[in-house]
Amino acid sequence: MAETEPFSVLFVCLGTLSRFPKSISYSGSSDFSLADLLSGNICRSPAAEAVFTDLVRKRGAESKFKIDSAGTIGFHEGNSADPRMRAAAKRRGIDVTSISRPIRPSDFREFDLILAMDMRNREDILSAYGRRRSKEPLPEDASKKVKLMCSFCKKHNEAEVPDPYYGGPQGFEKVLDLLEDACESLFDSIMAEKSQTSVSAAELEVSILDRDLPWRLSIHEESICNQNTVHGIR
């Protein structure tokens, strides 16, 4: 059977309100911009991407996944992750190397799962999807791809991954604790689903072969009979 397409996961976050005067407005033309000046894709989402990438690598499943991260606007586009987050992850042996980018309309087509860090983040993603879908073709079920990161946690009860941007060192450690918990469960869930899909496909293939087997045998038997007739064998 042909190798299945990699499962694609996009981690998306929206940062805390940036500390700029209210009179400053974001001048970008992106449909994913928000009313206030916001930061994004420099703390939680790049950390989530790094944690999940590290886990996938350790499990030897790199070829089975496409992993990326994005922010809900492009204010920090092209920037590396927050150095405090990179340092905290590094202490756990995880390299946060992604470069910030805003979420794109094509992400709703290209990714199987889009993970939001908190409820507001999720609402902004869905709102952006709704606005963009009115302007260009996007999958009708794309909104079903958007899930909360903490919905995969098994060891923690938090509903959201908190933004550590203005907090102390413990805030970054807490984020990593939640991400490691969620990513492990997420990986197991996806692999179980992929395994079940493969089993179902294998069962279908066997069923088709079984259905065709009598036909194949009858042709084979007819061929033998014809050969025996040619050689005078009765």
* pLDDT at res. 158: 97
Predicted confidence (pLDDT) at residue 152 exceeds the cutoff of 50: yes
- 102 - beta bridge partners? 71
Pairwise pLDDT comparison (186 vs 198), residue with the higher score:
186
In a 13 Å sphere around the CA of 40, the CA atoms on its Cβ side amount to: 28
Per-residue b/e over 50-87, b at no fewer than 16 CB within 10 Å? bbbbbbbeeeebeebbebbbbbbbbbbbeeebbebbbe
Predicted confidence (pLDDT) at residue 119 exceeds the cutoff of 60: yes
d(CA 89, CA 53): 13
17-60 confidence digits (pLDDT tens)? 333 223 223 233 332 222 222 346 789 999 999 999 999 999 99
CATH class (in words) of the domain with range 7-195: alpha beta
Would you give the DSSP letter of residue 187?
A: H
Residues that are catalytic: 44, 163
Q: Residue 103: which pLDDT band, with cuts at 50, 70 and 90?
A: confident
154-166 confidence digits (pLDDT tens)? 999 999 999 998 8
**pTM of the complete model:** 0.74
Q: Backbone phi, then psi, for 114, in 5-degree steps? A: -120, 115
Q: Residue 222: which pLDDT band, with cuts at 50, 70 and 90?
A: very low
- 11 - beta bridge partners? 69, 115
